[in-house]
């Protein structure tokens, strides 16, 4: 990030290595995700959720990776409505928009869970994000990339 002085006002310039177009008319910013464990790989869309602490995915995706869901790290997750649900954390390889990280993500214990979110731990803390929602533009770099 560099600072520029223009007409007595401070402005900032950020640089990113990737861009992704999304539909600003949708209710969320959705990106393609790939999870892998060993030789098992699964692709699906997930929503970027800056309010979520964890990356949380449907139980079925963990099972498709041959994970025993309940053998993972238990974590009860609270929602904005005051309810909560059980998840289990597992180490996986997470790839989003060409960036790959070995991280712990969480899978819902219930089969009825249908949201897939990229939260702060596991993904957002690994990247630098720029969003121009009006234009449906998402900009991403690895956090430690020197651009």
pLDDT in tens, 79-126: 888 899 999 999 999 999 999 999 999 999 999 899 999 999 999 999
Confirm if 57 and 63 have CB atoms less than 8 A apart: no
- Confidence at residue 1, expressed as pLDDT on a 0 to 100 scale: 44
CA 58, CA 92: separation in Å to the nearest integer?
A: 14
> Is residue 3 over pLDDT 60?
no
| 87 contacts 75 by C-beta, under 8 angstroms | yes
- Residue 96: name the closest of 40, 146, 52, 55 by CA: 55
List of domains in the chain = 20-138 (2.40.70.10)
- Residue 74 pLDDT > 50, yes or no? yes
What's the pLDDT at 36? 98
List of residues 6+ apart from 3 with CB closer than 8 A:
10, 11, 12, 13
pLDDT tens figures, 127-143: 999 999 999 999 999 99
Whether the Cβ atoms of residue 107 and residue 114 lie closer than 8 Å to each other: no
Instruction: Supply 113's token pair.
Output: 């869970």
Average pLDDT over residues 16-26: 95
pLDDT at 66: 98
Question: pLDDT band at 43, cuts 50/70/90?
Answer: very high
What is d(CA 116, CA 45) in angstroms, rounded to the nearest whole number? Answer: 7
Grade residue 2 by pLDDT with cuts at 50, 70 and 90: very low
């Amino acid at each position: 990030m560099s600072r520029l002085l223009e007409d007595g006002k401070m402005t900032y310039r950020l640089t990113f290595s990737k861009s992704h177009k999304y539909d600003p008319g949708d209710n969320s910013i959705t990106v393609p995700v790939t999870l892998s464990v060993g030789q098992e790989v699964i692709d699906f869309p997930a929503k970027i959720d800056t309010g979520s602490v964890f990356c949380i995915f449907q139980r079925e995706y963990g099972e498709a990776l041959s994970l025993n869901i309940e053998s993972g790290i238990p974590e009860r997750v609270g929602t904005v409505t005051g309810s909560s649900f059980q998840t289990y954390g597992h180490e996986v390889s997470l790839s989003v928009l060409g960036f790959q990280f070995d991280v712990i993500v969480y899978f819902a214990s219930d089969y009825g869970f249908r949201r897939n979110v990229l939260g702060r731990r596991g993904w957002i803390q690994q990247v630098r994000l720029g969003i121009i929602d009006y234009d449906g533009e998402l900009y991403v770099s690895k956090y430690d990339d020197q651009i």
